[in-house]
Amino acid sequence: MKLYYSPGACSLSPHIVLRELGLPATLEAVDLKTKRTDSGADFAALNPKGYVPALQLDDGEVLTEGVAIVQYLADRHAPGTLAPAAGTVERARLAAHLNFISAELHKAFGPLFNPALAPEARQAALATIGRKLDVMEQTLADGRPYLLGPGFSVADAYLFVILTWADPMGIDLARWPHLQQFRQRVASRPAVQSAMAAEGLQQAA
């Protein structure tokens, strides 16, 4: 398998999952501005959507969208571990978390990546992010270590990656102590440390 990624982007989530599962995969970085890969390939030809992640399987099939990739990896290579079995209430809860992180929290960070964002728009985006983080904080407020309870799941990998964007964007997670502890907890996992090191990233505080 080959994972097309950009350091620190949402592609870090399937990268973490690959390492959690101990799956061999090659990495190829993508310049998201030029849409060229490190080897000089046209990434847009591989993934017309133009963004990471993309996972090329050994048979040449290309999967896109992080939430689809992480669920495929978990179901295909370790059923019932990083993702509960399909058809269970627990799997529905996992899907709910993945959808919220993707459609609400991840999307809310989008405007902050625009260097030309007006101050008023930035404040509006920060307020929106705060409301989304409030929801995730409440999920963890009962003391559970991970989103589904005691066990790490693919949703935790995704949430962790989004939380690593907080500091660079000037968001102090001290307002959300359970999320701050969660980020530290996930950052200490060997697979997470390995994935971040491979992408040249500093460990989350």
**CATH tag, 2-80+192-198:** 3.40.30.10
pLDDT digit string (tens) for the chain, length 205 residues: 999 999 999 999 999 999 999 999 999 999 999 999 999 999 999 999 999 999 999 999 999 999 999 999 999 999 999 999 999 999 999 999 999 999 999 999 999 999 999 999 999 999 999 999 999 999 999 999 999 999 999 999 999 999 999 999 999 999 999 999 999 999 999 999 999 999 999 865 4
pLDDT of residue 205: 47
* 2-80+192-198 against 89-189: fold identical: no
d(CA 82, CA 77): 10
Strand, helix or coil for residue 11:
coil
pLDDT of residue 202: 80
d(CA 131, CA 109): 12
d(CA 134, CA 188): 23
pLDDT of residue 167: 96
pLDDT of residue 35: 96
pLDDT of residue 156: 98
d(CA 194, CA 192): 5
- Could you name the CATH architecture of 89-189? Up-down Bundle (1.20)
Q: Which among 180, 200, 203 is positioned nearest to 192, based on CA atoms?
A: 203
**Hey, where are the domains in the chain?**
2-80+192-198, 89-189
Structural contact between residues 57 and 1, judged by C-beta atoms closer than 8 angstroms? yes
Phi, psi (rounded to 5 degrees) for 49 = -65, -25
Phi, psi (rounded to 5 degrees) for 26 = -90, 155
DSSP element (H, E) containing 36? strand 36-37
